[in-house]
Amino acid sequence: MPEYSVSIIWILVNLVILAGLIRLIKQDVRAVPVIFFGFGSLCILFSSLYWIVYALLRPDVRMPFAANEIAEWAIFLSFGASLKAASEPGGRASRREILSVILFIVANVALWIAWSGEWLQDIATGIVFGYYVAALAVRMNRTEAVSLPVRRLWGLVCILLVAGQAATFFTQPPLKDGLDLFCYALLLLTELYLVIKAVGSLSQKKTEVGTDSMSLSFAVHAWGTVFLYMSADAFYTIAGFFVSLGYLLMYLSFRREEGT
């Protein structure tokens, strides 16, 4: 089954990470965030196994609302809960930042509906993904994982991204193709920046400003998910790689937090 080799390798990697998480939980040092992350990891495993089984039983048949959607919702809820449990009490983002998150998620949901026409599925996904992103925004604000100028630039990228994606519905090639490439460039460059920051933070002292590896690693995963939901063809594969990389960095950030 060579076409499933990547999925099988990823399942094996997931099992190794789950084993590492169990070891962290047994150490009983701030175990609650790790437990929530472990729930999300189990859902990733179940979703991967589901798709392999489904592809074997019903190849080339698309199911509009599949069981893996519920697993994805559980992943976002678990990761959001993990971030909240790992954050110090009293941490909060500004009203402007929370409002920005809400507007960005609502815009994304509108785009998903326009692309797929699946209202219930896309709205439900937007709600749980919004919870995840909001929890991430609160922690990133508290820990100053990225500087204020970078956060403002990131906000501008989000505005340009949504505007560019929306404009593709009203344009024709070659302008439409150019807008698509522009949006992919914004997604990819932002993701590369987050990956560089996250990888660098894993080797730095925890007390330094801008070195919160947990926030940065979760940001790699969350932005990779935005990238994934806005992509097709080769870019979809690239975005999937970054989502997987973010997941691995998240696990390493937990190990860093526990000093193992």
Note the pLDDT tens digit of each residue in 24-77.
Answer: 888 765 688 999 999 999 999 888 888 778 777 776 666 655 667 888 999 999
Q: Enumerate residues 6+ apart whose C-beta is below 8 A from 42.
A: 18
Q: What is the mean pLDDT of residues 182-207?
A: 90
Q: Which of 126, 135, 185, 133 lies closest to 157, judged by CA?
A: 185
Count of structural domains, the chain: 1
Q: What is the mean pLDDT of residues 1-26?
A: 77
Least confident range of 1-10, 19-28, 168-177, 246-255: 1-10
Could you write out the DSSP letters of every residue in 181-248? HHHHHHHHHHHHHHHHHHHHHTTS-TTSTT--HHHHHHHHHHHHHHHHHT--HHHHHHHHHHHHHHHH
Mean pLDDT, all residues of the chain: 87
Neighbours of 191 (CB within 10 A): 23
CA-CA distances (angstroms) from residue 20 to 58, 63, 75, 163? 34, 34, 18, 42
DSSP assigned state of 60:
T
Distance of alpha carbon 80 from alpha carbon 103, whole angstroms? 18
Give pTM, 2 decimals: 0.91
Report CA torsion sign: 34, 123, 158, 167. positive
Residue 251 pLDDT greater than 90, yes or no: yes
Range of the domain at 85: 2-258
Let me know the angle formed at the C-alpha of 250 by 214 and 157, rounded to the nearest 5 degrees.
Answer: 70
Amino acid present at 160: L
Cβ neighbourhood burial of 123 (10 Å; 0-12, 13-18, 19+): middle
Q: Which of 251, 148, 157 lies closest to 198, judged by CA?
A: 251
Q: Which residue has the higher pLDDT, 147 or 208?
A: 147
